[in-house]
Each structure stands twice: as structure tokens, then as C-alpha cells.
């Protein structure tokens, strides 16, 4: 009985640690903690992400593949608690998919290069586009402007 318990305990211990490793990788790349947002399409709690109130000049790139996604020039305070942008860089780095989760229709945004979940797109943003790209901070890395 004692050995059975030890074997079960060790099996659970090693299987859980391998699951943690899988959660922290995406397309073979090791990611920071909180990767459930990138991998599983989760949403950060508002006003908790690293970049929701970030004001430094530069570019925001995909945490999973380093593709350029957004510029600080297009960032604005939407009041939502998530980093918000009214436009994307280079026009095609973000792909849009219909999302019917949570009992409503939304537009999910993903990295066009690696398919990492970024957040959602809404049509309540400022001009000139009228869009609000609402993004999880955990999906981004920031590259400051070189001065």
C-alpha cells in the first residue's frame, strides 16, 4: 500500500510538471508565465496587465513569434483596462476570426504569423478607423524606440 501511494504520487508529480511545461510553450517557443491567454484564448483581468497604462514610445510585438503588431502611435486610453489600439502595424499582422464564446458574437484577433491569441476587436474606437483592438498584455512584448 505504501509503495502504491509513492508510485501514484510520483506519477502525478511528473505528469503535472510536464503539463506546466506545455502551458509555457507555444509553437516550440518558451513563453513567460500567464501563457493561457496566448494558448487558450483567455482574457486578463482589466487594469492588471503590464501594458494597459504604458506610455513609452515604441512597438508592441507578438510574445510568441516577435512579429510587429502595434505601434505606440496608435495606442490610446479606452478606459477598458486593456492595452487598446485604433490600428495595426503593416496592415496584415493581425487576423480576425468570429468568436461565439460567452454567448455573444465578437471578433477575436490573433497573430497572423503564429496564430497566438491577442484579444478582441470592437467597433467603438476613435477615428480614423473607428476600431478598438483590445489586447492582452501577456500577448505582447514591447520594443522601445531607439534614441
132, with CB counted inside 10 A (0-12, 13-18, 19+), is buried
Give me the phi and psi of 71, to 5 degrees please: -110, 150
Q: Read off the C-alpha cell for 111.
A: 497573430
Give me the phi and psi of 102, to 5 degrees please: 60, 25
Q: Read off the C-alpha cell for 45.
A: 483581468
- Residue 134 known to be catalytic: yes
Handedness of CA 83, 86, 89, 91 (dihedral sign): positive
Catalytic pick from 16, 36, 114, 134? 134
Cβ proximity of 72 and 61 under 8 Å: no
List active site positions: 134
Amino acid at each position: 500500500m505504501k509503495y502504491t501511494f509513492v508510485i501514484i504520487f510520483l506519477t502525478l508529480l511528473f505528469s503535472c510538471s510536464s503539463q506546466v511545461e506545455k502551458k509555457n510553450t507555444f509553437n516550440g517557443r518558451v513563453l513567460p508565465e500567464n501563457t493561457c491567454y496566448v494558448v487558450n484564448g483567455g482574457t486578463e483581468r482589466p487594469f492588471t496587465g503590464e501594458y494597459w497604462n504604458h506610455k513609452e514610445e515604441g512597438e508592441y510585438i507578438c510574445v510568441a513569434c516577435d512579429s510587429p503588431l502595434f505601434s505606440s502611435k496608435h495606442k490610446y486610453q479606452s478606459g477598458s483596462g486593456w492595452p487598446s489600439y485604433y490600428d495595426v502595424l503593416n496592415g496584415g499582422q493581425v487576423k480576425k476570426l468570429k468568436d461565439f464564446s460567452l454567448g455573444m458574437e465578437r471578433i477575436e484577433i490573433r497573430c497572423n504569423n503564429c496564430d497566438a491569441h491577442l484579444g478582441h476587436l470592437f467597433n467603438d474606437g476613435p477615428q480614423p478607423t473607428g476600431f478598438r483592438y483590445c489586447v492582452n498584455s501577456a500577448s505582447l512584448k514591447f520594443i522601445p524606440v531607439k534614441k
